[in-house]
Every structure is written in C-alpha cells, then in structure tokens.
Amino acid sequence: MHVLLVEDDPAIAGSLREGLARYGYEVDWVTTGREALAADAPGVVLLDLGLPDMDGLDVCRRLRARSNVPIIVVTARGDEVDTVAGLEVGADDYVAKPFGVREIVARIRAVTRRHAADATGEGTEPAPPPVRLGTVTIDVAARRVTQGDAEIALAPKEFDLLVALARRVGSVVTREALIDEVWDTHWFGSTRTLDVHVSALRQKLGAAVAITTVRGVGFRVEHADAS
C-alpha cells in the first residue's frame, strides 16, 4: 500500500519510513502542505498538523473535499482542540506523539479496512428507519442528523458513534462495545480516540442530546423529551 507521510521532522519521518517499509508499505515523504496537496493519490495519509507552510487542518480539509482517502492526523500529546478539529474536517483517526510503528500500522489497517467495507457494503444490514432523540432525527440511510430544519454536520466516526449510542438509548454502552462497533474488532489503538469523538459530539449536539459518562464502564444516551 502507498502511504503519503506529511511530516516536517526528519527524525520522525525517517523512523516511520523505515518501520513502515518493514511491514511492506511504500512511503512517499513530503514536508509541506503544498507538497501533500500536489502528491499522487495515496492509499492512506499520515498528516502532521504542525506544518511549516500552512495549517495542517486546512490540508486535511482540502484532501477530504476531493477524495475519500483515509486520513490519520498526527498531533502533539494533549492538543485535544486540534485533535477534535481534525476529526471535524474529515480525518478518520488520530495518533498522539510519541508513538510506535506498530501502533501506526494498527491504525492504518483499521481505517483502510473500514473504508473498504463502507465502499463495498460488505457486512452491512439494510438501513433501519430514522432514529429520533427528542428534536434530533438521525437518518441512518442518508447519514444525516437534523434538528428541526437544520442539519448538524458530523464527521463519519461521530455519526457512527451517535448511531451506536442512539440504538441503545437509556442503556449503558461499554467502551469496548463502542470501539468494536464504530472502529474495528481488531482495534489496537488508544481508547482516547473514543473520548475525543464523544467530546466532539457533545459540542455539536449541545443540549439537544445528553450523552452521560458512566465512569469506568462507558456512555449512555438519555431519553430525550420531544417537546
């Protein structure tokens, strides 16, 4: 598989290129956003947000606007705001520095497997009717969330996570079950990804849908008042 690595730190890039090559990946390395946007279409993009010439979030947004290529953003540990923003503009996942090659490989395998399943429709069931949570309607078939006449824009994984919770409204859904359903049954990455997506959902849905944290277990969508 062809990996486009967008990273301006030579030490990190060199280590990743060497490590990914051992797993059979062909890596093209660029150091700027402009080079990333001009590169040939890859199988997956590893995108550092801290680029020297332009905002990495803008690179992510522009890549997503023209392609459905899987994008994994690379962030400095603790930069939750940038991480959420990356997911909102179309990234499929994120990994925080420092990280190991095996973690990166696991993330690449998970996002590419998910994209392949979405593209072919394999393993999917006929879409159920829309799910309603008070004033919010989730159209699973159209992958749209609306509140009244206004659409709430969700990133792909945010939508999948909301559906997974809404289908069990009033019940606690464990962290493990959400990771398995929304990401991949062979997920080896940090469950911090789940927390970031829940945080993003809370910000976008506001008071319309209450997502409660059940400490040490998982999350629950509360029954909503339709009035």
Burial class (CB in 10 A: 0-12, 13-18, 19+), 152: buried
The whole-number pLDDT of residue 69 equals: 92
In the chain, % of residues over pLDDT 70: 87
CATH architecture under which domain 131-221 falls: Orthogonal Bundle (1.10)
pLDDT tens per residue, range 5-22: 999 999 989 989 998 998
Please tell me whether residue 71 adopts helix, strand or coil conformation: strand
Q: Which residue has the higher pLDDT, 125 or 157?
A: 157
Say yes or no to pLDDT of 168 above 50: yes
Q: Where are the domains of the chain?
A: 2-120, 131-221
The whole-number pLDDT of residue 36 equals: 96
CATH code, residues 2-120:
3.40.50.2300
pLDDT tens per residue, range 61-89: 999 999 989 999 987 755 667 777 777 88
Say yes or no to pLDDT of 120 above 60: no
Q: 64-68, 188-192, 214-218: lowest mean pLDDT where?
A: 188-192
Q: Which residues, in sequence order, are CB contacts of 14 under 8 Å at separation 6+?
A: none
Q: Provide the token pair at 33.
A: 């956003």
Identical topology for domains 2-120 and 131-221: no
CB 103 within 8 A of CB 189: yes
